Amino acid sequence: MTENFNCGSEQHRRPGECSAGPGEAQWVTGIDHELAFWDHWLATRGDRWPQDFTKRLDPQLPVEERVAAVLREIPRDHLKVLDVGAGPLTVLGKVMPGKTLEITAVDPLADAYNALIDRHGITPPVRTRKGFGEQLHELFAPGTFDLAHAQNCLDHGIDPLTAFRNMLDMIRPDGRVLLFHRENEGIEENYAGFHQWNFTERDGAFIIGARDGTEVNVDDALRGIADVETRRVNGCLLTVLRRVAVAVAANE
């Protein structure tokens, strides 16, 4: 696994049982697996990935180039960044030359993660707060952030397209949404626990696939709202969403 540039899922590969299709009831069954993984990871200071653990605690960690490249497109020096599905310790770097970053991390399991962090005597540079990608409007006003980021998490969610739309709502008009996920996690993980969705790219478009074979073309679904750019990087899908400018009528 490439320490600096991966979408992280390798750390979460574990056997599990198949179960019914996606939805909230299915999602709940994934909680124990997720918490057990992170409890062990925190207790062992990163398990097989000690560098990853150390980096996440480093307040001087440079922001990853894939993130920096997008942040450079935004013409402000102080940038507010939202990490959705951040886990107990956001993976995002904390510093970037010429910019100051203000990172907010959210995750549905934040309360349990924070209890684990405290139990294991860890002081996080950014403490994750509770929130679903599907319910960001309950936490933040639209247009609060410059960048909304999600890595290896929204294919663990209940309704990825809603989470993408919410992330677009959370950014300023010239902000960005950056998604970084492995392809076809549902298939790869045998639909265990949180892994109910398959993300892939086809003919340049970002596709969300459900276990029953139904698909949503995200480029089509967001047409007129955002431009969607997807490419494969190190075996993962890197997707940038840019909001489409809304034309204002001449007599307004």
Ligand X SMILES: C[S@@+](CC[C@H](N)C(=O)[O-])C[C@H]1O[C@@H](n2cnc3c(N)ncnc32)[C@H](O)[C@@H]1O
Question: Can you give the binding site for ligand X, defined by CB under 6 A?
Answer: 8, 12, 34, 84-87, 91, 107-109, 132-134, 151-153, 156-158, 163, 194
C-beta separation of 222 from 34 below 8 A: no
Q: Please, what is the minimum distance in Å from the beta carbon of residue 81 to ligand X?
A: 13
> Per DSSP, what are the bridge partners of residue 200?
207
| Shortest Cβ 200–ligand X spacing (Å) | 18
For residue 179, the minimal CB distance to ligand X (Å) is 11
Of how many residues is the chain composed? 252
Identity of the residue, 59 or 173, whose beta carbon is nearer to ligand X in the bound complex: 59
Rank residues 151 and 239 by Cβ distance to ligand X and give the closer one: 151
Taking the least distance from each CB to ligand X, the nearer of 11 and 230 is 11
> How many angstroms separate the CA atoms of 6 and 235, rounded?
8
Task: Scan for tokens 């997707």, then name that residue.
Answer: 239
Beta carbon of residue 217, minimum distance to ligand X (angstroms, whole number) = 21
Are the C-beta atoms of 189 and 13 separated by less than 8 Å? Answer: yes
Please report where in the chains the tokens 């398959």 appear, as a residue: 198
- Pick the closer one to ligand X by CB: 175 or 193: 193
- Beta carbon nearer to ligand X, 119 or 202: 119
Q: Smallest gap, in angstroms, from Cβ of residue 250 to ligand X?
A: 41
Q: Are strands 205-210 and 215-217 parallel, antiparallel or unpaired?
A: antiparallel
Least distance to ligand X, CB of residue 113, Å: 7
Decide if 128 contacts 153 (C-beta within 8 A). no
CA distance 91 to 107: 13
Instruction: Name residues whose C-beta falls within 8 Å of residue 5's C-beta, 6 or more positions apart in sequence.
Output: 64, 65, 66, 233, 234
- Residue with Cβ nearer ligand X (113 or 206): 113
